[in-house]
A = this chain, B = another copy of it.
């Protein structure tokens, strides 16, 4: 795919927003490759995402485009962002011992299933070092037991040292400190192994088994201070029945978890997600 800029925005809905944005692009010869809009009749906001072929615009960088676009953004009181597909997002992965999500992300990175970089992987266990390092990716093994606060400081420092854009909790099994959630809001994505809001917290497959549900699921969401309550990006389910033990659910659930997480990460990395309060607008395709 050609290099493109992606403009994401939302603002109070009124006539003329689309006209202003598309006029701006058209008068500079900008070729739109994908465009999506949404008018939310409840909150009264208008959401938009436009992908433009970068070579058709006279702006060499995101900041040049931002400078040119900002008068329109101000006029309509937009919350907005511009991204350049040439600058790959840098995804720092946190993992514990379960490696189904990590393996899946590494496979997608090797195969350029979608575009992103992995500057490092951080874990509270040494188990996955060899597999990660085979990929030429640095692996940091952090002791979470003796001093949890210090460990999280270390993690946050590593994230910044590696210029992370996105922190992925790929079944990390540890709860992030509230302050860290606040500081990194919109940059931390978790995969929870239940169909939220059902079965918040620990051992959701055990909870699902006890309740006798006929579908189990997984939820990919942004992390907030409140456990498993942040804005949901994607969810999916798989059918189970009486014949499935908790162990079977764990096994079947892994396939759902990794697929839901991969979809959510792609949406984020391709700048398809807009967060507004505790909900997301996802211009998927």
> Separation in Å of the A90 CB from the closest CB of chain B?
22
Report yes or no: B15 in contact with A26, Cβ–Cβ below 8 A. Answer: yes
Q: Taking the complex as formed, is A176 at the interface, i.e. its CB lies under 8 A from any CB of chain B? A: no
Given A19-B22, A213-B235, A235-B215: A39 in contact with B33 (beta carbons within 8 A): yes
Query: How many chain copies does the complex carry?
Result: 4
Asked if A75 CB lies within 8 Å of chain B CBs, one says no
User: Which residues on the B side are within 8 Å of A30 (C-beta)?
Assistant: 15
- In chain A, residues 232-285, which have Cβ atoms closer than 8 Å to a Cβ of chain B? 232-237, 241-245, 248, 251, 254-255, 259, 262, 278-282, 284-285
Please measure, in the bound complex, the distance between the C-alpha atom of A27 and the C-alpha atom of B234, giving whole angstroms.
Answer: 38
Q: Which residues of B contact A285 (CB under 8 A)?
A: 241, 243-244, 248
Task: Determine the chain B residues whose CB is within 8 A of the CB of A25 once the complex forms.
Answer: 15, 19
Does residue A37 face the partner (Cβ distance < 8 Å to B)? Answer: yes
Task: Name the residue of chain B whose CB is nearest to the CB of A215.
Answer: B235
Could you tell me the distance between the alpha carbons of A39 and B56 in the complex, rounded to whole angstroms? 16
Interface residues of A in 20-48 (CB under 8 A from B): 20, 22-23, 25-27, 29-42, 47
Q: How far is the CB of A210 from chain B (nearest CB, A)?
A: 8
Question: Given A39-B33, A243-B285: A19 and B15 within 8 A (CB)?
Answer: no
Q: How many residues of A contact B (CB 8 A)?
A: 73
Q: Is the CB of A37 within 8 A of B35?
A: yes
- Closest residue of chain B to A242 (Cβ to Cβ) is B281
Q: Which residues of B contact A40 (CB under 8 A)?
A: 242
The answer, yes or no, to whether A71 is at the interface (CB within 8 Å) is: no
Q: Name 18 extra pairs, CB < 8 A, besides A214-B235, A242-B280.
A: A15-B29, A18-B35, A19-B22, A19-B27, A22-B22, A32-B39, A34-B37, A34-B243, A47-B242, A196-B198, A196-B211, A197-B198, A197-B213, A211-B278, A214-B234, A215-B217, A243-B285, A255-B259
17 contacts between A and B (CB under 8 A): A15-B26, A15-B30, A19-B22, A32-B39, A33-B39, A34-B37, A38-B242, A99-B107, A99-B110, A195-B195, A195-B198, A196-B198, A196-B213, A211-B278, A212-B232, A241-B285, A242-B280
Which residues in A have some Cβ–Cβ distance to B below 8 Å?
14-16, 18-20, 22-23, 25-27, 29-42, 47, 56, 99-100, 103-104, 107, 110-111, 113, 131, 134, 195-199, 211-215, 217, 231-237, 241-245, 248, 251, 254-255, 259, 262, 278-282, 284-285
